[in-house]
Amino acid sequence: MSKDNVIQFPDRMNGRKLSRITLINARLEELELENDFLDGDIEYLQQQLTKNIDEVHELLHEVEKITQETLDEQLVEFKSDFGVDINFDADFDLTPEDK
């Protein structure tokens, strides 16, 4: 059973009952130690989060650079066989009219 391996908080010392103030002080010491551990964990996690955000920033810049290089390589200039630039601008308005 799971309760069999739980260490009970001491409420007696040498056969006599401990005072409530002694128990409270012991619990406060435990909480202080636990809070120290938690503060250390939070500090570590904050540093790791900052490092991860910096790495994501660098990777996104690299993706942007690679994407731009790929687009530049795929860019094609359209020219006619006669050496005249072809204009792909429409001579008419493609926006729908409101009725």
The domain ranges of the chain are 10-74
- Enter the pTM of the model: 0.50
**Do residues 10 and 18 touch, judged by C-beta distance below 8 A?**
yes
The one-letter amino acid code at 93 reads D
**Do residues 23 and 11 touch, judged by C-beta distance below 8 A?**
yes
SS3 16: strand
Give CA–CA dist 61/45, Å, rounded: 24
Give CA–CA dist 17/82, Å, rounded: 106
Place of tokens 């012991």: 26
List, for residues 10-67, the tens digit of each pLDDT value. Answer: 666 556 677 889 889 999 999 999 999 999 999 999 999 999 999 999 999 999 999 9
